[in-house]
Amino acid sequence: MAKTSPPVHRTALFASAVAMLALLTACGTENGTTTAPRPTEADRATHTAGATGSTPASRAVPSDTAGSASASARTDGRCQSSELRASVGRVDPGAGQRNFPVVLTNASDRTCTLYGYPGAAFVDASGRQLGPDPERAPASPEAVTLPPGGSAWAGLSFASPEISGARTATPATLLVTPPDERDSLRVRWTAGAVPVGGDESSVSVTVLEAGTGP
């Protein structure tokens, strides 16, 4: 029998080992037992964040954002309804007109600002509005700064019903809403009938200015 030289023998053994390794790998794949590469710490952190929907700590939104926004709204300088007291001054009759100063007074202990037109509405004892909302008299508003106890006024005017012949009603209350506010201030109305319908029934209001009236 021919003898195999040492180099040839080693080559045959190497080829046999390679074939055996390939066979074992194939069997492992078919059985589903092939071991996947071990995930790194970064891979695990990314997977956890994506699965839970949480924000990575490096991108977390500061927890006091909402609080800061609320504080800003409270300190923007605007007079709020809860800080004001409303009143109606004495009538100033004109040529067929009835004019009233509607006064807003700062009842708080801080300085605040009013800008623009107040809202106004006549209502009866049940709270039902009488007539349409007042029209705004054309003007260029200016900011009015009110220290504690300071006042601003706007003119509320309408044609005298006795002269205009408009349909009238007698309100129980005048609702006054400061600019940019939603809550109204209630003022007892004691000045008699106001126009609520028909010709010459419109009511107008002017911009706010410093003081308590003309």
pLDDT band at 118 (very low <50, low <70, confident <90, very high): very high
- How do strand 203-205 and strand 135-136 relate by DSSP bridges? parallel
Write down the CATH number for the domain with range 81-210: 2.60.40
Higher pLDDT, 114 or 50: 114
pLDDT for 105 beyond 90: yes
Report the pLDDT value the prediction gives residue 50, as an integer from 0 to 100: 36
What is the maximal distance between C-alpha atoms in the chain? 143
Put simply, whether the predicted model's pTM sits higher than 0.85 gets the answer no
Window from 35-39, 66-70, 150-154 with minimum mean pLDDT = 66-70
- 3-class state of residue 172 by DSSP: coil
Calculate mean pLDDT across residues 78-93. 95
- Please name the residue that has the structure tokens 């109305």: 189
Calculate mean pLDDT across residues 206-211. 97
